[in-house]
Amino acid sequence: MNEAAAPRERRPRTGPRGRSAEPEALADVQAALGALPLRRDLLIEHLHALQDAHGALRARHLVALAALLRLAPVEVFEVASFYAHFEVLENAAPQPPPLTIRICDGLPCAMAGADALLAELQAAPPAGLRVLRAPCMGACHHAPACALGHGLLEHATSAAVAQALAEGVPPSPDLAAPGDYAVLRAVQAGRLSAATMLARLEQTGLRGMGGAGFPAARKWRLVLAQPAPRHLVVNADEGEPGTFKDRHCLETGPRQVLEGMLLAAEAIGAAACWIYLRDEYAPLHAMLRQEIAALEASGLARMPVHLRRGAGAYICGEETALLESLEGRRGWPRHKPPFPGEAGLFGLPTLIHNVETLWWLPELLGTPEGAARFAATGRRGRVGMRLLSVSGRVRRPGVVLAPAGITAAELIEEFCGGMAPGHRFAAYLPGGASGGILPASMADLPLDFGTLEQFGSFTGSGAVVVLSDQDDLPAAARNLLRFFRDESCGQCTPCRVGTAKAVGLLAAPRWDRALLEELAGAMADGSICGLGQAAMNPVRSLLRHFPEAVP
């Protein structure tokens, strides 16, 4: 054998494969984390702490964090790169600007001139800063919205941005509202039993207000049928364009929401409560930390209450993706069954409620009269009341407390002061970005669960966006599909590829209607979760109800 071709002797490896943690990086990470425990389920909190301390997530710090958590570096990198609010940089990359200006490009903000504001600021960005697009910030009623770092600027203009940069974003009002937890005290004193609460909940007919409308009492019974320990999770990650009612509940009645959470926790015998709050609501995060600390100090919280901060992923509003995120992973929806009530957070039976559902509980469970009053309200045979987020071309946008079964026409005239001056009612989204688009001629349909599905639409979480004769409906559909493309978690091919394909098809001068329908059917049939299943609803709505408007 030729000596030059002889195999080289293999030498033993002197260190681990890949990157290894540097002592300086380990020290940086430990200083940033402070007293945060080193647990996998706290990984997203660790990443927030690191980014808050260093302005970005450097590769060396992620490697060091992986070493401290005894994880493979890829497990930390894949989580850090999944969430939009984390900025992952190589070690030698330049430091990002000290402040980023983000302009919301959700449909209500786009209707209010966000694209022009973005173009104006990007053409002449403030010195040393950058200007980027961003998804919905929960300020659709005060559009256009703009974030300066974690400060929210509503009714944004270039002049208002300049003023906020010079003087600071106007401070949020005192968000803590009065409340004495009277119903919770009655439960803990033995004057109100779990069985009585469940009976009153059944009497009200209250349904989950996060979008699916599942009967709340049935959900409690399903979780109670499972062995302890059990968890309760609060889904406060509303992120669909047009939705901001949970923000309203937490700003105007935070103790009411917390009391509702603890009432539900007492009823199911929860071992712990978990609140997953979207990262865009920074003032609410600070306020809730204070309120939770006071609850724990008073002894009213008889189980741990954990507050977790999202990181910019609309998909985490899906309940199983939220559970994955709480466990410190990417927000990938789980296959069902099993359902969260059977095997949820950390594999334990878990009751998941959205904010509005909990907001109602103290009023409904405290007295028989409260439950009876709620059950007696509603229009057209529907039961109860609900909060609706109304934005777009109405005179008075905002959160509306309306009877179940109200129509869009009644909502606009009775609660929103009619259409905005100079605008004629043309169309509306009854259930946010995924709820489809209906014509004004169908504005006499009840906005309630099970009513609109036959028309290819649904009311969902109650986000009503009103469009006028001055709005471009195909442009609205393009805006919504771009949102779904950007927010797809990427786990399943029908959604990941389908949303991108749809955006391309909608950019064509003439839409291929047959291909769009075929694509919509494939996405609805093959996607794992509701994002991909409902993403094409705006397009299907236009093809069905507005054929003359389709290019």
d(CA 270, CA 230): 5
> Are the C-beta atoms of 273 and 232 separated by less than 8 Å?
yes
* Residue 147 DSSP label: E
Give the pLDDT confidence score for residue 375 in this predicted structure.
87
User: What is the third-level CATH fold of 385-468?
Assistant: Ubiquitin-like (UB roll) (3.10.20)
d(CA 23, CA 414): 65
Burial class (CB in 10 A: 0-12, 13-18, 19+), 288: buried
User: What is the third-level CATH fold of 473-549?
Assistant: de novo design (two linked rop proteins) (1.20.1440)
Query: In residues, how long is the chain?
Result: 551
Give the pLDDT confidence score for residue 219 in this predicted structure.
96
d(CA 223, CA 2): 73
d(CA 237, CA 246): 9
Tally of CB atoms within 10 A around 340: 23
CB within 8 Å of 307: residues ≥ 6 apart: 275, 277, 285, 288, 289, 292
Q: Which of 95, 14, 17 is nearest to 63 (CA)?
A: 17
Encoded tokens for 30: 């430990």
d(CA 427, CA 549): 12
Question: How far from 300 is each of 126, 189, 255, 275, 352, CA to CA, in Å?
Answer: 48, 11, 12, 17, 21
Q: Which of 524, 517, 545, 431 is nearest to 480 (CA)?
A: 431
CB within 8 Å of 117: residues ≥ 6 apart: 103, 144, 146, 156, 157, 158
In CATH terms, is domain 23-89 a member of 2.115.10.20?
Answer: no
User: What is the third-level CATH fold of 100-164?
Assistant: Glutaredoxin (3.40.30)
H-helix or E-strand spanning residue 401: strand 398-403
Give the pLDDT confidence score for residue 523 in this predicted structure.
97
3-state SS, residue 199 = helix
| Residue in this structure with the two tokens 């104006």, named with its chain if needed | 120
Strand partners, 146: 103, 153
H-helix or E-strand spanning residue 499: helix 493-506
CB within 8 Å of 126: residues ≥ 6 apart: 101, 161, 162, 165
Encoded tokens for 244: 């901001």
What region, left, alpha or beta, does residue 155 occupy, with left being phi > 0 and alpha being psi -120 to 50 degrees?
A: left
User: What is the third-level CATH fold of 182-368?
Assistant: Rossmann fold (3.40.50)
Give the pLDDT confidence score for residue 1 in this predicted structure.
47
Own/partner contacts of 374-383, CB < 8 Å, gap of 24 or more, are: 374/204, 374/206, 375/203, 375/204, 375/205, 377/403, 377/404, 378/403, 378/404, 378/405, 379/403, 379/404, 379/405, 379/406, 379/446, 380/405, 380/446, 381/405, 382/446, 382/448, 383/204, 383/205
β pairing state of 57-58 and 88-89: parallel
3-state SS, residue 522 = helix
> Are the C-beta atoms of 212 and 432 separated by less than 8 Å?
no
3-state SS, residue 102 = strand
Give the pLDDT confidence score for residue 3 in this predicted structure.
54
d(CA 261, CA 182): 14
d(CA 148, CA 165): 8
3-state secondary structure 203-264: HHCCECCCCCCCEHHHHHHHHHCCCCCEEEEEEECCCCCCCCHHHHHHHHCHHHHHHHHHHH
| Series of mean pLDDT values for 10-residue runs along the chain (551 residues) | 60 69 96 97 98 97 97 97 97 94 97 97 92 96 96 96 90 68 96 96 89 89 97 96 96 95 98 97 93 93 97 96 98 96 98 96 94 90 93 98 96 98 98 95 94 90 96 98 97 97 97 97 96 96 96 94
Residue spans per domain, the chain: 23-89, 100-164, 182-368, 385-468, 473-549
